[in-house]
Amino acid sequence: MSYNHPEYLISIDELAEQINDASLRVFDTSVLLHATDQGYTSEPGRARYLEEHIPGAAFINLTEDWSDTTSGLNNTLPGIAALSQAIGNDGIGNDHLVVLYSSSHLMWATRAWWLLRYAGHTNVRVLNGNLAAWIDAGLPTRSDAERYPAAQFTPSPRRDLFVNTEEMTRGMQDAVCTINALSPALYAGTGDFYYGRRGHIPGSRSVYFADILQNEFFLPAPELKAVLEAQGMLSAPRTLIYCGGGIAATLDGFACMLLGQENVGVYDGSMSEWAADDALPLTLGDAP
């Protein structure tokens, strides 16, 4: 069994073969997270990028340039006009092949992938194995900044790829599959860290984002299918996924799309938004 959409990924060997293609756009998407009493703060991973990156790769500042910095939450989806402008400013046009990786966690690459898909760019691939696989293979790297000339990007948004609190509330009653991508301890509300209030959205099931990767590679298709379908993610008419702030959820969502489940929505505000409203319910423990 293979992935339904293997074209959503690219291997280090494939990238190495195409690295000099003029139509290729490669980006480091790294962000660093710092835990606080009420959640986390995020910092662009530009310093790490400047130390070492794939030759030709530019840097996407997800936290500032590709986010609504006025929302009060971290890494919030910007308006489609602002997002499209940021995409074009980073040198991405509608016809470019875009390859995304991170020098931090792979979930930042899937977040950027999700944003580009939302904006209507379909020729986007995530580097399987991340930067670590590239370095482990002994492939060359560079230091200092590189960038692509600005381009024109025309959006064709897929608004169903993101959901808001209202749709998540309806999801507690509707025949959809709702998934929490956080750790089992965060899901149950038993860990030391939590997002303002403990627990999970009632009815949601746990599929920890770390369980779909092995050494920054996605699990082989049969194993990945078993993990996702154990909670009904692939067979549901629609799957809604949340985490702490809409980042790790894109890793689970990307895995769904790899295996052909295209009707997936990521709750952008996630627990950072939900837990801040005392009127919204939360469930403690291991059961949905």
Domain 6-157 CATH (choose: 2.40.128.120, 3.40.50.300, 3.40.250.10, 3.40.50.720): 3.40.250.10
For residue 245, what are the CA distances in angstroms to 59, 143, 176, 195, 267?
Answer: 21, 30, 21, 10, 8
- Top pLDDT among 218 and 194 is at 218
Burial status of residue 158 (CB atoms within 10 A of its CB: 0-12, 13-18, 19 or more): middle
Whether the pLDDT of residue 34 is over 90: the answer is no
For residues 284 and 29, give the distance between their C-alpha atoms in angstroms, rounded to a whole number: 34
* Per-domain boundaries in the chain: 6-157, 160-274
Report residue 38's pLDDT band, with 50, 70 and 90 as the boundaries. Answer: low
State the pTM of this model.
Answer: 0.96
Whether the pLDDT of residue 238 is over 90: the answer is yes
Q: Which residue has the tokens 């339904």?
A: 4
Residue % of the chain over a pLDDT of 90 = 90
Mean pLDDT of 116-141: 97
E strands in 90-146: 97-101, 124-127
Report residue 205's pLDDT band, with 50, 70 and 90 as the boundaries. Answer: very high
Burial status of residue 47 (CB atoms within 10 A of its CB: 0-12, 13-18, 19 or more): exposed
Report residue 174's pLDDT band, with 50, 70 and 90 as the boundaries. Answer: confident
| DSSP assignment letter at 144 | S
Q: Which two tokens stand for residue 109?
A: 């690459």
Identical fold, 6-157 and 160-274: yes
For residues 189 and 283, give the distance between their C-alpha atoms in angstroms, rounded to a whole number: 8
pLDDT tens column, 98-115:
999 999 999 999 999 999
**Least confidently predicted of 72-76, 108-112, 238-242:** 72-76
Mean pLDDT of 214-221: 97
Residue % of the chain over a pLDDT of 70 = 98
**Least confidently predicted of 2-6, 42-46, 86-90:** 42-46
Give residue 65's identity as a one-letter amino acid code: D
The predicted structure's pLDDT at residue 39:
61
The predicted structure's pLDDT at residue 268:
97
What CATH number labels 160-274? 3.40.250.10
Give residue 123's identity as a one-letter amino acid code: N
